[in-house]
Amino acid sequence: MKRRPLLALGALSPLTSFLPAAHAAAVGQSAPDFSLPDTGGKTVRLSDFRGKHVVLEWTNPGCPFVRKHYQGNMQALQKEAAARGVVWLAINSTEDASADYLSPPQLARWMGEKQAAPTATLMDEEGTVARAYAARVTPHLYIVDPQGRLAYAGGIDSIASARVEDIAQATPYIRQALNEIAAGKPISVTTSRPYGCSLKLKGGAA
């Protein structure tokens, strides 16, 4: 697997606030519908899951922040979501010219090795969906409600680091939201600061 050296993250500050593009959906507004191929070539549409909560997870296996959460935390969240009837779509928007790019079979293999459990792993090689959601980093997470509205946008938790040991100390925004959804309660924290590695989008950042 190709990996970017840590020095390549120099332009990224985990504490940087990422401002959404003017055209991107905001929390409370309709989430942009999309159609993407999964790693097996099957087309998956967001609108296919209307009536359910959907988690969107931007991922890149070459990113230290992603690898931090794939030591078990992300897989546990994916399984908790599935047990509660919540759809989980992992999206890779890394362009094919990037050193971090994985082909669909390579990405599927990595997910299998990590025993990940998303509903589907999707390829967004043109970066179209990332731009529609103003996704900026990996991992960057969103939750879409059963009516198709954006209900959450931000980080997986509150501590912007690549240290696995920080997970236990952080406020777990996504787990908290999943618990609230299961209890029939509104999501209490609807936006937070995302952190991670900058997306490597075709044509540059949105």
Kindly state the percentage of the chain with pLDDT values over 70: 87
Mean per-residue pLDDT of the chain? 90
Is pLDDT at 7 greater than 60 in this prediction? Answer: no
**Which residues, listed in sequence order, are joined to residue 152 by a DSSP beta bridge?**
143
Domains recognised in the chain with CATH numbers: 43-198 (3.40.30.10)
At 204, is the pLDDT very low, low, confident or very high (cuts 50, 70, 90)?
Answer: confident
Asked whether 44 and 87 are in contact (CB, 8 A), the reply is no
Distance spanning both ends of the chain, measured CA to CA: 26
C-alpha distance from residue 117 to each of 121, 141, 197 (Å): 9, 16, 22
d(CA 103, CA 146): 31
What are the two backbone dihedrals, phi and then psi, of residue 99, each rounded to the nearest 5 degrees? -65, -20
Structure tokens at 157: 């938790």
Q: 152, 141, 146: which is closest to 177 by C-alpha? A: 152
C-alpha closest to that of 107 among 156, 62, 55, 56: 62
Burial 170-204 (b: 16+ CB within 10 A, else e): bebbbbebbeebeeeeebeebebebbbbbbbbbee
Cβ 170 vs Cβ 157: under 8 Å: yes
Give the predicted TM-score (pTM) of the model. 0.88
Quick one: which of 144, 97, 106 has its CA closest to 125? 97
Closest CA to 148 of 22, 35, 51, 27: 51
d(CA 194, CA 152): 11
Q: 1 or 127, which is more confident? A: 127
Please check whether residue 197 is in contact with residue 18, taking contact to mean a CB–CB distance below 8 angstroms. no
Q: If DSSP codes are grouped into helix, strand and coil, which group holds residue 130?
A: helix
Structure tokens at 41: 């070539």
Please give the average per-residue pLDDT across 129-153, as a whole number.
97
The pLDDT of residue 16 is above 60:
no
Closest CA relative to residue 44, chosen from 108, 111, 120: 120
Model confidence at 22: pLDDT above 50: no
pLDDT of residue 131: 95
**Average of pLDDT values for 115-141?**
97
Is the confidence at residue 40, as pLDDT, over 60?
A: yes
